[in-house]
A and B are shown apart, each in its own frame.
Chain A
């Protein structure tokens, strides 16, 4: 089929089964947008900012398991994608970015809107291509999708000069990719899996420490089978929230900086940690040298570079988690009842150290907002959560109960404020049947709020619940706890902007909640209205998120609720 490069890109996306792409046009990508106008089965969602488009593509990927596609023009369009690319890199989100570039003969001349986006993104992509010949375009797109979703998932970038989009070729989509240097592991080493099984059977206090890799591998059933077979408790990281049902008796919460004390106890007092697609992030371990001092480590991961990067693995298994976990579940021969005392111990800690806050004073408490949201959605399997970054994110982790994989989408590794709203829009595009709720901070919301227009006009309705404490709350907490209450540049106010009024200006529903009395009604209405809705829940700014492992402290030295808050 004779067509131009721009058409070839769309035919390639269609061949990859892409149903939606997120982007915003500009000069260097005009031929591609012209191809959209001439017809394609790929739906294009017009974002209001390329960062929004990138996070939408991430939200889409995280909700669906398929690579997200983001499109931007050269120069500022491309640089606006840098944050989502970095975010996808840190959280291993499969993302294919397509950027326009100035004409080939102008590259290197500082032409209008020229920018070396392949150079800028080198440290944060799995791979990138500057397409120099239109004939290679279909191969490059094929390779881009292949690289984004095989091995450890992540972002890739394809930079296409304008003349390449305009040049003609005989299009056919290749069946196979030729990437001699790309060899992600295809199976785990049998003897290593056996060694892992033996280590698990021999342990008295084993624990599964599941990370986001479990979701990327589509290995949640296998994880559950392993936990059930060995009667093994499971902690899920922020990135893995939902990868193991949280109502399951073996779920032992979430480890890390704001994880409950009992979860951190369970992980840190284990004698065997089985890390599954997790990377011993500093937000989980606290001070590494004091982390889980008595534990041997079995580390299962698709990425050999994660093995022994932070914590030495006694039994490393490199391979795809789905078959590795399945094989492990088949091989373990647990001694019946062996882990029961350990499970009882964890249950005792759970009983002794629940999450706590005091619902007093005349201001609405942020934790109550999350608890109410949880009550209103309990038992539903069609709710997908996204969050911003800050205190509200940590409360969302603590109070929302997620039983479904891919139902909790948050920026973990990069901690990108502004992620929540666009990620929710992308998730809605992937899961039109689901109720998508973004739990946002007032600070975060203001970083990408313009995407409300996208949600309204593209008919991708989302519910945004702003836990409005009038502050950059997490920063306030750190200044309060570690900088002797010298508050510096954190005050946003509860009232500027008027979030409900802003929502209405965008054609969305707006609700303002100032007391407990109005909370449930407003949230219920927002959840039920079927339109994009913003609930401005004005909460007590003085609340801290507890427990907390201070940065650099040992996980077991976490700070609890009572110790620092005067009544």
Chain B
């Protein structure tokens, strides 16, 4: 099962490696990983998308909690969080095909950020599922290159309590 973890960390060297090694030693592959600054300059947020069962994930979360540089670990629950991803894709676009591609882009709200003699670069930001669909529709046209940021997410504004660390201890 896929899970998204949101981890607040002190902005210190090596912290990413300490976290990812918890997955690697158990043989779990990380689907996507996004690291960036937060509202506090000394704190970064790492968003990790991983495919694993719930019980090993709980073990990993608990181990993460114990890392000295980790401030908070929470799981982003679908429906209770906003998740976004950004993609850039370069697609083959001979002049005859351009109009069709641009119309497709428009449906998804993708922007054309570059245009060459026979290719076009789209930018799309949205829920990861939209990015997936767009990618699939564009692929037959000749997808030359693609880069995705990996998903980032936040708990929903009207459910502020749901984004706190999962309680590991029965209270």
Residues of A within 8 A of B (CB): 118-119, 122-123, 126-128, 130, 147, 151-152, 179-182, 189, 191-192, 303-305, 307, 309, 315-316, 318
Contact = CB atoms under 8 A, between A and B. Distances in A.
B169 A189 contact: yes
B10 A180 contact: yes
Contacts of A307: 168-169
B69 interface: yes
Interface in B73-121: none
A304 B67 contact: no
Interface string B21-56: 100010000000000000000000000000000000
A123 B21 contact: yes
Contact of B68 (A126, A191, A309): A126
27 contacts: A122-B17, A122-B18, A123-B21, A123-B25, A126-B68, A127-B68, A130-B13, A152-B66, A179-B68, A180-B10, A180-B71, A181-B9, A181-B10, A181-B68, A181-B69, A181-B71, A182-B68, A189-B169, A192-B170, A192-B171, A304-B62, A304-B65, A304-B168, A304-B169, A307-B168, A307-B169, A316-B169
Contacts of A123: 21, 25
Contacts, number: 55
B62 A189 contact: no
Contact of B17 (A119, A189, A303, A309): A119
B63 interface: yes
> A-B pairs with the 5 shortest C-beta distances?
A305-B62, A127-B68, A181-B71, A304-B168, A318-B169
Contacts of B67: 127, 181
Interface of B: 9-10, 13-14, 17-18, 21, 25, 59, 62-63, 65-71, 168-171
B170 A316 contact: yes
B59 A118 contact: no
Nearest to A195: B170
Contacts of A182: 68
A316 B170 CA distance: 7
A180 B170 CA distance: 24
Contacts of A192: 169-171
A147 B170 CA distance: 26
A180 B70 CA distance: 8
Nearest to B69: A181
A425 B45 CA distance: 46
